[in-house]
Amino acid sequence: MEEWQQLLVTGINHASQLPGEWLVAREGVDQGDVEEVFPIRINSYYKSLISDPDGPIGRQVIPDPEEVMDFDSPADPLGEEEDSPVPAIVHRYPDRVLFLVTNQCPIYCRYCTRKRMIGTPEGVVPRKEVERGIAYLREHAEVRDVVLSGGDPLMLKDNYLDYILTELRAIPHLEILRIGSRVPSSLPQRVTPELCAILKKHHPLFMNLHFNHPDEITPEASKACNLLADAGIPLGCQTVLMKGVNDQTEILKRLFQKLLTIRVKPYYLYQADLTRGANHFRTPVATGLRIMRELQGFTSGMAIPHFVIDAPGGGGKVPVLPDDYLVSMEDGDVVLKNYEGRVYTYPDVAGEDVRGVGQAETPPGSGVCPNGGSGDSRGER
């Protein structure tokens, strides 16, 4: 057994294995009740990062009775099942798809937007479904970008992952492949030289990692990221904004800055979804906007991700920005407010009708992030 497999086996896989000081019950509900709905996995490595069960690392993985107390939210908040032409594929955007190749993860995050399927017997992705997914991609020439996700694709055995990537690479219209993975932040021992040798064969391959707190950037995680970067894989990070975990500017600034030092570029900061069993992590959208404002200009642009809300019901990711950078756009003058709150005027060039910029009528696919007047991103879907 490899080291990473050992760390999974020796970790916490049942509520009965939780240390006494991590036990909580509320209104007669305990973590054993939670486990019946949402599986538990805290591998030994990630467990070793937890000093306080109520701290930012503990909260991400220790089951909370709150999870089974919110019945009002949808199990599939992003409407992924409606956009699923075959079981393992979510095809929502014109040129790229999600390919869910497994429902296993190195840890089971309590805030997961796919907790309806993660680690459950019903959520398993059989090889037949993976093959159907590959066949779908072969037939859909409009797809040029495939995001392998799940679950965590790096939980697959080396040779199975190699098989999937090889099949995808043989499809001429697939220009880039991507892997979304929590492994480097929560089970970095899985990133072995053998794995990197496999990944390297399938370039251009990108990876988006998932770090939520600077305490996840350990020497082990740094080593894993360096191995991946040395294999030529551009690394991004998708972070979820969560109450009691990382909803402070200083924490996120430190996270994003430290990510750059391990060659990971912050990509998305997600507003937490409306997921059943995960609502206790949600923060007001205004918190995310304020944090973005407190980052922009105060640290490297490289360290700043896009803040996005994945629109409930399948609207996709919508970028949102604080609404006052663009003060006005009138009579040939673009009035801007910088990060210090100072106002500047940029004399514009004529030739484009500015009426409608930032309005709901912005045509789909215009590619413009309308950070204008009204200041939101209505229209961009």
Ligand X SMILES: *Cc1c(COP(=O)(O)O)cnc(C)c1O
Long-range Cβ contact pairs of 164-167 (< 8 A, separation 24 or more): 164/101, 164/130, 164/134, 165/198, 165/199, 165/201, 165/202, 165/205, 166/201, 166/202, 167/134
Cβ-based neighbours of 175, under 8 Å, separated by 6 or more: 144, 145, 204
Looking only at the bridges linking them, the beta strands covering 343-347 and 333-337 are antiparallel
Considering only 12, 49, 101, 112, the residue that binds ligand SF4 (CB under 6 A) is: 112
Considering only 18, 109, 187, 292, the residue that binds ligand SF4 (CB under 6 A) is: 109
Angstrom distance (rounded) from CA 60 to CA 77: 19
Verify binding: residue 276, ligand SF4, rule CB under 6 A. Answer: no
Verify binding: residue 151, ligand SF4, rule CB under 6 A. Answer: yes
Judged by CB, which is closer to ligand SF4: 152, or 380?
152
Q: Which amino acid is at 107?
A: I
Active site residues: 92-93, 96, 105, 109, 112, 114, 273, 310, 317
Q: Which does 118 bind (CB under 5 to 8 A by kind): ligand X, ligand SF4, none?
A: ligand SF4
Q: Which does 114 bind (CB under 5 to 8 A by kind): ligand SF4, ligand X, none?
A: ligand SF4
Q: Which does 195 bind (CB under 5 to 8 A by kind): ligand X, ligand SF4, none?
A: none
Considering only 47, 59, 92, 182, the residue that binds ligand SF4 (CB under 6 A) is: 182
Binding mask 86-105 for ligand SF4 (x = CB under 6 A): -------------------x
Token pair 């551009």: residue: 234
CB of 80 to ligand X, least distance (A): 7
The residues in 204-263 that bind ligand SF4, with binding defined as CB under 6 A, are 210
SS3 call for 26: strand
Q: Which does 252 bind (CB under 5 to 8 A by kind): ligand SF4, ligand X, none?
A: none
The residues in 67-106 that bind ligand X, with binding defined as CB under 6 A, are 90, 92-93, 96-98
Binding mask 298-337 for ligand X (x = CB under 6 A): -------------------x--------------------
Looking only at the bridges linking them, the beta strands covering 333-337 and 326-330 are antiparallel
- The beta strands (E) that lie in 77-162 are given as 89-90, 96-100, 145-149
Long-range Cβ contact pairs of 324-332 (< 8 A, separation 24 or more): 324/375, 325/371, 326/358, 326/371, 326/372, 326/373, 326/375, 328/373, 329/354, 329/357, 329/372, 329/373, 330/354
The residues in 147-176 that bind ligand X, with binding defined as CB under 6 A, are 147
CB 381 within 8 A of CB 315: yes
Instruction: Give the interface with ligand SF4 as residue ranges (CB under 6 A).
Output: 105, 108-109, 112, 114, 118, 151-152, 182, 210
Instruction: Give the interface with ligand X as residue ranges (CB under 6 A).
Output: 90, 92-93, 96-98, 147, 317
